[in-house]
Every structure is written in C-alpha cells, then in structure tokens.
Structure 1
C-alpha cells in the first residue's frame, strides 16, 4: 500500500512539474508602455498631472506598446512602434537578455503619431536596420510606401513591409499566431486594427484605440469571454477630462467600459487590463481614487514593465 502511495505521489509530482514547465515556457505579454500617443508627461503641460512627473521623473511612462515573448524560440514581436521605440527595445532586451538585438517584427495598429513614428529609428539617420519585418494593413502599408520619410525606409531596405488583412491569421512560429481585427477609429491616413494573439492554448486581445465599443461590429463583452487577456483602450477615465470637445477625440471612457462590463463574471473582469492613458487620466497615479475604483470592480491596470501571463 505504501509503495502504491509513493508511485501515485511521484506521478502527481511529475505531472505538476510538467504543467509548471509548460506554463513557464508559454509565450507571454511584456508591457513596454501605457501612455497615450504623446506620452506622460505631455508636451507643454503645466497642470499638476504632469508637474508631478517633472518633480518625480520615476513617474514618467512611455507610450502604449506591448511585446509578445516566446521563451522557447527566444523570439519577440512588438506591437506598435512608438516615439519611445528606442527605449522600449532596450527595455525589452534588458528583460530577455538579448542585448543588441531587434525583435523579430513590429505589428502596427494605425497611422496616428504614437503608433508608428518610432520606425524612424530604424532609418539611415539612426541604426540603419536591415529588413526589419513590419506588419501593416493595406492602407497603412501604402501610406508608408508612398509618403516620405517613411518611403525611404523601404527604399533603403531598413524595413521589410509585410501585408496583413482583416481576420486573416499570420502564423509566426509553431506557437504564436496574430490576427488583425478592424476597429472603428479616426482613419485619416490608414485603417485601424486591434490584434488577437494566439499563443497556442491561450488568446490575448490588444485594442489600444477605438472610438466607442458600441460602434464595433464585434461584441467586446463576447470577446472578453473568449480570450484569456484583454488589453483595452482606456485613454480617458471620464467625460470632461480635457478642456476641449471630447467628441473630436472619441474613445471609450473607462467609466463607460466598466458599466458595459459590469455583468461579466469575476473571472472575465479579471482578464481586462486597461491601457493607453492620456496624461490627464488618474489611472496613471498609483492609489488614486480612480485606481481604487477600477480595482474594486475587479479590473486591472496595465503597468509598464509588467509581465502578463495568460
């Protein structure tokens, strides 16, 4: 009887160890930045929201971006090339100990300044990269190919543009696949997409910019239920947050999103990580009333430098 107990215990320990190794080797999210396109602090802002950063530089946050890291293949992909791209590549390299390397590719969401202008650091005036893989939707690809200075990046072979299409998966390796999903946004120069990232057994939704959830042909609540992690647009916490007509810069207010998500289960709410905060958004301030409210209702707040394991 004792021998049978030892055999069963050994088997369970081996099974637990196998599952633990599988989790530790699974691809995961590494958060490279959480701020809106213009960063935090924002240019020429003399309000208290930015003064606190001038006085305490450790509060600075880089522009919204994430990486997918595959520990098995030692590959990484960055989502959006922000104005902080140089520092974010360094942050990622420090995390993965791949010093001096670029990621395997960059997936772009759209042509607003915080989401693609970091490509300039791959050009002649900077590192002069060789055929860096950049994945872009048709209008975004055409925009880069036909407008300077971006066209020079393709002409000189600094970047290699890869076409992607709505709801068509791109298989990056045997574990990681990425599917772009069109979202309604201010599409002056390109279409806008979010991404559904499949890491084998887990799925991650990344939507840093959208006008309003109700304008989307997809149900955000249904998608949250289907995925394991959802990094979602939280540019503004509430209406009236900035001194301009906020209909000119439509985004789902965090208050609106929490109301829309209130009937989700506790487990589904915990999947939501808010990201892409304007400099006025109190979610940038640790332990603010807004932060406490979001946490109380069961949601999470993306943190720069955080690892998110689905």
Structure 2
C-alpha cells in the first residue's frame, strides 16, 4: 500500500452540492495517531543565506521563492499527547510554534529534543530554552556521549544545564530509546566532520511504519552500513541533499563532504520505484537548485521516483 502522506496545513474538504436546498456533506482525512512532520529543509545557514548575492537567494528577496527553515523533523503522538523535535535549529521559535498551532498544543513547549551533532544548524536552537528566553524547566535533550560532554563543559550551553533549563539524556549508538508502546528511537553513528561531537542519524519506529533521518553525512561509501540496504528496511528515508553536484561552490568541496544529490540518485538508479519513493531529500544548501519549489532538475529527479521533503509534510507511523 502506498505510504500515507498528508499536509495538515490544509484540511481536505469535499463538498457535494445538488440544488439550492441540498445539505453540504463534508469529508476530511483523520490524522494518524503517530506521525512525523517536516519542520524545515534547509542546510545549517538557512535560506536565504547570509550575504548571498547569488540568484538563488535573490529569488527570496524578489518574492519568487519563500524562506526555507533549517532542517528539522517533529514527531507527534496524538494518542499520548506528546511531541518531540529532531534537532534544535536557529529557527526553533517558528518551528515550535508551528508544531503547537498546526499539530499539538498541550501547554508543554516540547517533550524532548534529539540532537544529531554539534554543527550550528542542529543544536544552537537550545539557546532559546535558556535564562534570557524561555527559561525552560528540565526539557529532555537526548545526546550522544561527546555531544553531552560538549554541552556540559562549554558555555553558554553549560548554563542551560546549571540552571536546569534542559536535562541531558545520554544516548548510545544502536541503543533504542522507548518513548512509549507506539514509538521508539534509535541513534546510528555516521561519518561526518566531528570537531565537537560525534554525528548520528536516527531510526524512528512506530507501530506501522519506520523512518530513517540522516541530515548530515560525509559520503555514503564512508559509512559502515550500506545505504541502499538501510533504505529498503524503512518506509521513509530523509537523506542529506546539501549539494546537488561537485563544483557547486567556489570552494574545495572535498573539505565539506556531503553526498551530492547526483551521487545518491546514481546509487539507487537500478533500484525499484518503490525503493526510490522512500527517499525524501532534505538539508539543502542555498546553492542546491532543487531547494526551489519548482526547478527543472527537481522535476527530473522526481520523475525518476525520488521525492523532496517539504515543510508541512506529514508521514504516518
């Protein structure tokens, strides 16, 4: 069965009108009990990016392309009235508000945050839980050992711990965290530029569906696991698409390794449409042309069977 994918920004309503005296019948799709929602798709520096004078960001300033929030997933459990974030981005204020108004408002800002690593787009949103902002109260933050130590021993993050704004929860690779009877989360180590912490992706498991989230990785062949095999195990795979191809930047791109979109599509070119459909590209640099809502390259990749994560998308678990 084709995976259910719903946008809750708009409720689907069908009207059947037969004459002026007819009743209006309304049909709407019910929300799944547990689901993932996409809260951002851009690389760490966002879209538009600072001091960018290129056509890509000019499209935003000339109202041709909307702002893109930084890569982030929300996990929502309507049955148990809980919600979690995967990564704390600089856009966390907007993302938490969207999670509250469009998905679940329990009066609790968030029930936990799972961090992937210590690069600016993935953890710096924690600052908004602090003394100068929310003044949070023991918000659970799940982190790998090096990430946990980094937050404990370096300011300003250490103040979040000292003031009990956050409560650090230690993760171990491949060790599953059971959130409740319906949801489980497992961190998986991936190779990346680990200056301050290790880097993980996450396997998010529900009663019916499973998702893989890897917003950052150096190259697929550097990983001890086979990405093709890992995608086949899950129902949804949110994969790093920072850059479209080599030469995209006027920098030595070997020093900022990511799997190019073209490399990923080549790896999966002989796989079935069913497998390709599982892949939802995410974490786009502003220079990647497929960050745009419409672009010929994006269209051509979609025709091959691959998909692109969009803010507001929902994936039932």
Whole-angstrom CA distance in 1 between matches of 2:195 and 2:90: 19
Q: Which residue of 1 aligns with 2:192?
A: 185
Is 1:299 aligned with 2:296?
no
Task: Report which stretch shifted further, 271-280 or 196-205.
Answer: 196-205
- Residue 268 (structure 1) aligned to one of 271, 275, 278: 275
Any idea what the Cα deviations from partners look like across 1:13-46, whole Å, max 9, x if unmatched? xxxxxxxxxx843411100000000000000001
- Residue 106 (structure 1) aligned to one of 105, 113, 122: 113
Relative contact order higher in (CA < 8 Å, ≥ 6 apart):
2
Whole-angstrom CA distance in 2 between matches of 1:116 and 1:270: 29
SS of structure 2 residue aligned to 1:59:
coil
Q: CA deviation at 1:220?
A: 0.5
Q: Which residue of 1 aligns with 2:246?
A: 239
Q: CA deviation at 1:308?
A: 2.1
Whole-angstrom CA distance in 1 between matches of 2:59 and 2:32: 39
Give the alignment's TM-score, normalised by structure 1: 0.91
Asked whether the equivalents of residues 164 and 180 of structure 1 are also in contact (C-alpha less than 8 Å), the reply is yes
Whole-angstrom CA distance in 1 between matches of 2:306 and 2:103: 28
Alpha carbons of structure 1 residues 160 and 64: separation in structure 2 relative to 1, 3 Å: same
Is 1:142 aligned with 2:173?
no
Whole-angstrom CA distance in 1 between matches of 2:129 and 2:70: 18
- Residue 130 (structure 1) aligned to one of 103, 116, 137: 137
Task: Report which stretch shifted further, 52-61 or 100-109.
Answer: 52-61
Alpha carbons of structure 1 residues 57 and 165: separation in structure 2 relative to 1, 3 Å: farther
Structure 2: unaligned runs, 5 residues or longer: 1-29
Asked whether the equivalents of residues 25 and 72 of structure 1 are also in contact (C-alpha less than 8 Å), the reply is no
SS of structure 1 residue aligned to 2:211:
strand
SS of structure 1 residue aligned to 2:185:
strand
- Residue 64 (structure 1) aligned to one of 63, 71, 78: 71
Pairwise CA RMSD: 1.6
Comparing both structures, which one devotes a greater share of its residues to helix?
1
Q: Which residue of 2 aligns with 1:48?
A: 55
Asked whether the equivalents of residues 138 and 163 of structure 1 are also in contact (C-alpha less than 8 Å), the reply is yes
Any idea what the Cα deviations from partners look like across 1:240-295, whole Å, max 9, x if unmatched? 11110100110000000000011221111101000000000111112211111210
Is 1:284 aligned with 2:288?
no
Is 1:259 aligned with 2:266?
yes
Give the alignment's TM-score, normalised by structure 2: 0.89
Whole-angstrom CA distance in 2 between matches of 1:51 and 1:212: 30
Structure 1: unaligned runs, 5 residues or longer: 1-22
Q: Which residue of 2 aligns with 1:214?
A: 221
Whole-angstrom CA distance in 2 between matches of 1:102 and 1:224: 32
Whole-angstrom CA distance in 2 between matches of 1:152 and 1:251: 33
